[in-house]
Amino acid sequence: MRLKNKVAIITGAASGIGHATALKFAAEGARVVVCDVNREGVDRVVSEIVAQGAEAIGFIVDVTNKTQIGEMVAGVKRQFNRIDVLVNNAGIVADAQLYKMTDDQFDRVIDINLKGVYNCARAVVDTMIEQGGGVILNASSVVGLYGNFGQTNYAAAKFGVIGFVKTWAKELGKKGIRSNAVCPGFVATPILDSMPEKVIQAMEERVPMKRLAQPEEIANVYAFLASDDASYINGAAIEVTGGLSL
C-alpha cells in the first residue's frame, strides 16, 4: 500500500475523477477526507470507502468559502493530527466564446477553479510546514497547456494552477513539500452525459488511442504522485491524455 496511513484531502470527491481518486487512495491505504458541495455524494463516497475496510470522513466544502475550508482543516487535524496530501480536484465549466462570455461565467470559473485551489492550499500549508512535509496536487487540464475554443475562463484557471505548483515547488520544496499538477485530456465522467454521442465519438477520434480516459486512469497518476515513489517529482505538469497533444 503506497499511501498507508497518509491523510489525504480530496476536493470535488463526490463524482468523476475525484470519486475515483478517493477510492484509489483508500485502496492504497490512505485515510481519505472526502470534500464536496454535494452532501449526498459525500456520504455515499465515505460509505463506499468504509465498506472496503478503509478509513474516511466527509465534509461539505465549497472551495470559495474560507470558513468551510477552515472548519474542514480543523476537523481533519482533530481527527488525524496531520495532513499529508491535498488533491485540489474541485472544478466547474461554464463555456462560451469570448464575445459571448458573461462576467458571471468568467468569475465563477475563476473563483472555483483557480482561487479555490489557492484557498485550499493556503489552508493546509502551515500544517504541512510544521510537520516537515506534504504533497499538493492540482487538477489542471490539457486545456491548461494548449488552450481550447470557447474556454477562456477554464483555460485561464487551468494555466493558473500550473503556475501555482511551479511557484510552490520553488517555495516549499526545501520544506519537504512537493507540488505537482495533473493535466488530463478527455475523460469519461458525468460531465459528458449531456453531450451528443457524435461529439463524444469525435473526441475519441482525436486521441491516438481512440478512446476516452477512464477516471481511474487519472486517479492512478494522483496516487503515484502522492506516494513516496514520486519523491523527486516536484513542479511538474503531467499530461494524461492518451497522446492527444501529439
Residue 177 DSSP class: E
> Could you give the angle at which helices 116-131 and 66-80 cross, rounded to 10 degrees?
30
Asked if residues 114 and 160 have their Cβ atoms less than 8 Å apart, the reply is yes
Catalytic residue among 99, 118, 154, 222: 154
Q: How many CA atoms lie within 13 A of 218 on its CB side?
A: 31
Question: What would you report as the CA-atom Rg of the chain, rounded to the nearest whole angstrom?
Answer: 17
Burial, 61: exposed, middle or buried (Cβ in 10 Å; 0-12, 13-18, 19+)? Answer: buried
Catalytic residue list contains 222: no
Q: Which residue has the cell 458541495?
A: 37
Question: Amino acid identity of 186?
Answer: F
Q: Which residues are catalytic?
A: 154
